[in-house]
Amino acid sequence: MGAYVTAKRISTNKRLNDDYDNLFLSASAYAGIDPKILKAVAMNESGPRFEFMDKWEPVGGTIGILHVQFETAKDYAPNLTREEWLKPQMQISIAAQHIARLMKVFNNDLGKVIMAYNAGEGRIQSGVVPSVTRDYLERFWRNYNRLGVA
């Protein structure tokens, strides 16, 4: 792991720079993914300034900066407690590992990876793509492109 080690901020756009950059960079480096992917997903899940990170989404049972479901998180950290799950550092780390795994499953097809992150791996593998997931993918690409060159 560790293909994307960099000391640079993820974006030169000051509006998009934030206190989480180091967490995004270190988790991405550990998982071997582009940090822009992780940050763009976080922007999708929590808004561009992560203003929704503490709000529950009752339908999916998610919370936090990357809205990682507790059961999914436990796949990567089996002894994880709910208290630890709520910490941004843990959510970012687990999301990076999950995205890295999805990259392998979907042969580095980033569009499918992002849709699977949103709708679930099984749905995307079966070809069932909800319209809300198509919208999610469009927002991801807008966020990803706004982040510029890593």
Residue 122, in any domain of the structure:
yes
Contacts 24+ apart (CB under 8 A), 146-150: 146/11, 146/13, 146/16, 147/10, 147/11, 147/13, 147/16, 147/36, 147/39, 147/40, 148/11, 148/12, 148/13, 150/4, 150/6, 150/8, 150/10, 150/34, 150/35, 150/36
5 in a structural domain = no
7, part of any domain: no
- Which of these, 139, 99, 91, lies nearest to 4 by C-alpha position? 99
Query: For position 16, what pLDDT does the model report?
Result: 40
* Angle, CA 115 vertex, CA 18 and CA 36 arms, to 5°: 25
Which CATH number is 74's domain given?
Answer: 1.10.530.10
Residue range 96-142, pLDDT digits in tens: 999 999 999 999 999 999 999 999 999 999 998 999 999 999 999 99
Question: Quick check: 15 pLDDT over 60?
Answer: no
Number of structural domains the chain divides into: 1
Q: Is residue 1 part of a domain?
A: no
| pTM, to two decimals | 0.82
The parent domain of residue 51 ranges over 14-146
Residue 124 resides in a domain: yes
Residue 34 lies in a domain: yes
